[in-house]
Amino acid sequence: MSGRPSASRRSILRGAALTPVAGLGLAACGPDGGGASAPATPAAPVDLGAESEIPRGGAKLYADHHVVVSRDAHGALKAFSTICTHAGCAINRLRDTTLICPCHGSEFDAATGSVVQSPATQPLAELPVRAKGGRIIAGPGA
Ligand code: FES
76-104 confidence digits (pLDDT tens): 999 999 999 999 999 999 999 999 999 99
- The pLDDT assigned to 9 comes to 46
Cβ of residue 38 lying under 6 Å from some atom of ligand 1 = no
> Confidence band (pLDDT; 50, 70, 90) for 38?
confident
How many other CB atoms are there within 10 angstroms of residue 42's CB atom?
A: 21
42-55 confidence digits (pLDDT tens): 899 999 999 999 99
Give the amino acid at 12.
I
Which residues have CB under 8 Å from 10's CB, separation 6+? none
pLDDT at 2 over 50: no
Cα of 103 from ligand 1 centre, angstroms: 5
**Could you tell me the strand order of the sheet in which 46-50 lies?**
46-50, 135-138, 129-132
Class of domain 46-138: mainly beta
Choose one of 84, 91, 107 to mutate for the ligand 1 pocket test, by most ligand atoms within 8 angstroms of C-beta.
84
Q: How many residues does the chain have?
A: 142
Judge if pTM exceeds 0.85: no
